[in-house]
Structures are given as C-alpha cells and as structure tokens.
Amino acid sequence: MDAISAFSTYEREALEAIESADSVDTLEAVRIEFLGKKKGRLRDLQKLLGQVDPAERPVVGQRFNEVKNRVGERLDERKNQLDRPEESSLTGLDITLPGTPVRLGRRHPLTQTIDEFKDIMGRFGFTVADGPEIEDDFHNFVALNIPEDHPARDPLENFYLAAASIANDRQALLRSQTSTVQIRVMEQTKPPIRIVSVGRVYRPDTIDATHSCMFHQMEGLMVGDSVTMAELKTVLHLFATTYLGEDVQIRFRPSFFPFTEPSVEVDMNWHGNWIELGGAGMVDPNVLTAVGYDPEQVSGFAFGLGIERFCMRRHHITDIRRFIENDVQFLSQF
Ligand code: FA5
C-alpha cells in the first residue's frame, strides 16, 4: 500500500472510532491507538513518510499533516461533547454561538413619577393609603357632601357599573376621584392623619392632548387639632419645588368643591407657563361630621393633583395619549 492510501485508511478508521466512542474513557483509548506517541498508529505512518521518494515528500508530507490535524481536531470536539452531555443532547442548540444581548426594561414614566411623589410626601411625614377603584356612590359622592342633584353625579360624567349595587343598595361605579380615600381613611382612623393616596381614576371625558378617560391622581389629607390653610400652601409649595426645582411659583385661585371650604384651584408657574395642578381646600365640616369627627375639635386640608400633567410638564411631553400607547421607543427615553 502506498503512503497516501495508508493515510486515508488511517483517517477513515480513526474518525469512525472517534464517532463510536461513547465515553471519555473509550475516547482516550482511541486517542492512544491512533495518536499515542509510543505505540500509536501515527508512528507507522511517520515511518512510511520517511520511505517516500524525496521528490514526492512535500505532497505526501502535506497529506500526512492534514490527516494528523483532522484526527486531532475531531478528537477534541468529541471530547468536549462527551464532557458536557446535557448541552450536546439539546438538539438544534449551538452552544458556541454568542448569546442574545439582554435588554433590560424600565419602569413606565408614570410609575416613576408616582414613586417619586410618594417618596417626596413621605419625607414630609405623609404615609401612603390605598382605596378601591370600584367604588360606591356613598364614598365617591354622599360622604363628600356632593348632593344627589350635583352635575358631578350625572351618568354622563361617570362610569356607573351595570350591577345595581355593591352592598347596602349603594350604586357601584369606577371612582372619578381619589377623594374617596379621604373618607375611607377617616372612617377607620382617628386624627391626627397625614396620608397621600395615589391611583387611577375614571371619567368619560372627551380624549384630547391633556384629557384621558383614565388618569391618575394623588390625594393628600392632613387632619389634626389646628391644621390651617397656611400649612396646605406650604406643603404644596414644598412638594412642587422638590419635584421641579426652586424656580416654581404656586398660585391659589378661589374655587368650589362640595367637600372643602374654602376651596381653591392650585396652579404652578414653571418656565413661564401657568398650569393647573389640581384642587384643594380645607375639609368641609359636613365631611368631618359624616365620618364621625367633631368639626369644632379638628380641622384639616385636602388636595387632589393630576399626575399625568405633572409628569408631562417635567418631561416636556405634549400629548397625554403617549402614556398609554405602549410605544417602546417613547417609553425607553425615561
Ligand atoms: C378633583 O378631582 C378633586 N377631587 C380635587 C380635590 C381634592 C379638591 C381634595 C379638593 C380637595 P378636578 O376634577 O379638578 O378635582 O381634578 C383634579 C386634577 O385632575 C386636575 O387639575 C387635572 O390635573 C386632573 N384631571 C382632571 N380631569 C382629567 C382628565 N380627564 N385627564 C387627565 N387629568 C385630569
């Protein structure tokens, strides 16, 4: 047999033996048989190489190296497979490919704003209270001193639920304001009270760049022996400057809410524009009475701020609908 065909036979037999080796030990035996330095079959091939005509040696030598390298490489590959049986058994998975880069998500800008609001108010001593989004007309209207004939109770202004009642013949609806939580907290707690409540509210408003039918409010309530309007103003001013910076101005405009007396609309001026923050005022004596407090003994202030508009102002977002479009490009900026 000439050297070239001896190399080919060696190569074929070595590769077959490598493929059929089913353990690291068997594979090691194959390595010793074909590549072993002392008695391996490669030594025989080397001897053959020494006998070829010097003129043919470059070509035959090249073939010898090819065969030797090919067998060596295949041995290494098979050894890797046998060393990691679980991975090799995952069909179709090439574990040598680079991994898919992981892209971490981020919190929604409104969630970031809400967390920041709670954090700021927490530093002023306000704890967080929660209330249900499906409310009853007692907490959304009656206890808030909103009479039966008030336009805020109009079916066209609210999402009343078809089921006639939650309990006690109360009409169920999606809450239209977080002021409901004032009542729920006062029903269960004695003064002093200092809470904020942040959450979704629902109104069938016409949707445009600054109005949505579902939005978020932060309610604040402070009740104690002698809480005053000056404290309300201080808290809102501190809140706005902490969130937006020292260059914010706060303005109170006389207004009316059935559950506060006096009532105000609160505006802020930031970088030259006035925007409405929300409503506020001193808790109406009728509300204090409805929850069993004595209005001669305690007083309090309350406010309700629209969260979307704050967040829009800070981040220069011009359309409230951007918050609910789920556009990853938009959301990934925050
Ligand atoms: C209220 O909801 C009162 N509950 C606020 C209040 C609380 C007054 C405590 C007194 C004491 P108003 O309806 O004005 O008030 O809403 C408050 C804020 O919610 C508005 O200033 C605005 O920022 C936001 N808001 C109201 N309607 C929408 C809407 N459709 N889309 C987005 N934000 C809105």
Q: What is the pLDDT of residues 116-145, one digit of tens each?
A: 999 999 999 999 999 999 999 999 999 999
| Range 205-234 average pLDDT | 96
Ligand 1 pocket check for 265: Cβ under 6 Å: no
Identify the weakest region by mean pLDDT among 90-94, 193-197, 206-210, 217-221: 90-94
- The whole-model pTM stands at 0.72
The pLDDT confidence band at residue 89, using thresholds 50, 70 and 90, is low
Residue carrying the six token digits 């706005």: 240
Q: Is the pLDDT of residue 101 over 90?
A: no
The residue whose CB lies within 8 Å of the most ligand 1 atoms, and thus the one to mutate among 158, 215, 301, is 215
Structure-token pair, residue 23: 């353990």
- Considering 24-38, 39-53, 183-197, the range whose residues carry the highest mean pLDDT is 183-197
Residue 169 C-alpha to ligand 1 middle, in angstroms?
28
Q: Is the pLDDT of residue 87 over 60?
A: no
Ligand 1 pocket check for 279: Cβ under 6 Å: yes
Residue carrying the six token digits 């169920």: 172
Q: How many CA atoms lie within 13 A of 299 on its CB side?
A: 13
Q: How far apart are CA 173 and CA 183, in angstroms?
A: 16
The pLDDT confidence band at residue 90, using thresholds 50, 70 and 90, is low
The residue whose CB lies within 8 Å of the most ligand 1 atoms, and thus the one to mutate among 179, 218, 275, 313, is 179
Q: What is the percent of the chain with per-residue pLDDT over 90, rounded to a whole number?
A: 71
Ligand 1 pocket check for 203: Cβ under 6 Å: yes
Ligand 1 pocket check for 138: Cβ under 6 Å: no
The residue whose CB lies within 8 Å of the most ligand 1 atoms, and thus the one to mutate among 182, 257, 265, is 257
Pairing of strands 193-202, 214-224: antiparallel
Position 272 scores a pLDDT of 83
Residue in 223, 222, 302 with CA at minimum distance from that of residue 258: 302
List of domains in the chain: 2-83 (no CATH), 109-331 (3.30.930.10)
| Range 13-21 average pLDDT | 93
The values of phi and psi at residue 90, to 5°, are -80, 100
Q: How many CA atoms lie within 13 A of 218 on its CB side?
A: 28
The pLDDT confidence band at residue 170, using thresholds 50, 70 and 90, is confident
| Dihedral angle sign, alpha carbons of residues 18, 22, 28, 30 | negative
